[in-house]
Amino acid sequence: MIPVSLSWVAEQAQGQLLGQFDSSIVVSGVSTDTRSIQPGDLFLALVGPNFDGHKFAQQAKEKGAIGLIVSRKIDTDLPCILVDDTKLALGRLGAAVKAEVAPKTIGITGSSGKTTVKEMVAAILSRRGKVLATKGNFNNDLGVPMTLLRLERHHEFAVIEMGANHLGEIAYTTNLVKPDVATIVNAAAAHLEGFGSLLGVARAKSEIFKGLSEKGANKGLAIVNADSQFADYWLGKLKYNKVQTFSAEKAADVFAEDITLGLDGCAQFDLVTPTGRIGITLALPGTHNVSNALVAASLAMEVGASLSDVQEGLRAMPHVSGRLQVKQLTNQVKIIDDTYNANVASVNAAIDLLSSFAGRKILLLGDMAELGEKARYYHEKVGEYAKQQGIDELYSLGVLSQSASAVFEQKGKHFSELAQMIEFLNEHVIFEKCDISILVKGSRSARMELVVKALEDSPLGKLERVRERIAC
């Protein structure tokens, strides 16, 4: 965070500064968690249905907090900034820091792929200057302002991911971010409990365009996925903005030609843009990442990246933990770790990658969360899609995912506990003398990363690591 004074914080948070304080005090950060407070931070007391940050004021002081942001007066000798609502004050502060630093700003949302696109854009723009990008899943109405507060004077670019589980959340965060360019990666069946329907998802995602300027020479650019069933719906909302389209399937402002998939599952293609074309080799597997790369290129080029920046940034992009990472357990067994999260679209995309590999193909599926009253139907459809794509076996873990494995009949199996699944895999799968690809997928709540770890720690996985050490 940029260094500021207590009075500046009070003004931007629309609060009243109370108590005795030294006007020379410099605020170096804002924290909502006493466990992460650093000396020089202000502690902001959030209030929720099951917690009240005001109760931790003394702990904040002991950790080195130099002041408090509160929504009611409390007994303390620290200076306090009294605000109407601490959550709203957090948003105001994030927006104020962003306005003060004034980086070129990219806003990204979507049902799936938004984190990958964020990382792609950051990798491209890092070749041009200092980039601040959203960390982890700090993409909601608390995470976005906390991300903005991390901005420093040297940041030239800000790449901000925005998620939501209800209408109005992205409208709020995009108003804080005020991006120069924004996109919706896609809209799919996700968080249906909060949005009600797939159209509700598309409507909620379209809120990101509300943060774009519609006037003057600095009109914001909206980048629209021409392959989405909601492309016309989104374009209809953008009568006063600059608009650019992208497509992995047909001609658009930015599109792909001559797509091929390597033995490692990574795509190569020609990127075609209004300013020229260039060959791209992706570091991430899966044909769906062609679409992600197209929108990432569009976003980055709008704020100054060149075609060569796009080419080199995408080639050198690091893997994101739990995001479609191919791990070679042995010479014959590979694990496709895509355990970070899941919805119907992302599971189907991972199935497409699995189907491209030779040999025996197995899907280990955990429950997909927040799909509403049609959750079992969506799991069944995923099972049907996997079968259509030539997946040999589907093993499920969780209550809802049983609807997917049931589609496979004798080639499907459901487990109620992780230990049962791992025991079965050790006995009947990973010691087979043939090429085997195992996709592990599920929502964060399903904790399917534990399956990956258990496979890596299996007798075969340990034996292979011993062999590698001996070979070295």
Determine the residue type at 449: E
Query: What separation in angstroms does the CA of 104 have from each of 109, 296, 304, 306, 358?
Result: 17, 15, 9, 15, 44
Annotated binding site: 110-116
| Measured CA angle at 173 (ends 169, 174), to 5 deg | 115
Give the annotated binding-site residues for ATP: 110-116
Whole-number Å distance between alpha carbons of 379 and 365 = 10
Q: In the 3-class helix/strand/coil scheme, how is the chain assigned residue by residue?
A: CCCEEHHHHHHHCCCEEECCCCCCCEECEEECCHHHCCCCEEEECCEECCEEHHHHHHHHHHCCCCEEEECCCCCCCCCEEECCCHHHHHHHHHHHHHHHHCCEEEEEECCCCHHHHHHHHHHHHCCCCCEEECCCCCCCCCHHHHHHCCCCCCCCEEEEECCCCCCCHHHHHHHHHCCCEEEECCCCCCCHHHHCCHHHHHHHHHHHHHHCCCCCCCCCEEEEECCCCCHHHHHHCCCCCEEEEEECCCCCCEEEEEEEECCCCEEEEEEEECCEEEEEEEEEECCHHHHHHHHHHHHHHHCCCCHHHHHHHHHCCCCCCCCCEEEECCCCEEEEEECCCCCHHHHHHHHHHHHHCCCEEEEEEECCCCCHHHHHHHHHHHHHHHHHCCCCEEEEECCCCHHHHHHHHHHEEEECCHHHHHHHHHHHCCCCCCCEEEEEECCHHHCCHHHHHHHHCCHHHHHHHHHHHHHC
The answer to whether the CB of 77 falls within 8 A of the CB of 19 is yes
CA distance 396 to 82: 51
Q: Are residues 453 and 321 in contact, defined by beta-carbon separation less than 8 angstroms?
A: no
Pairing of strands 266-273, 412-415: unpaired
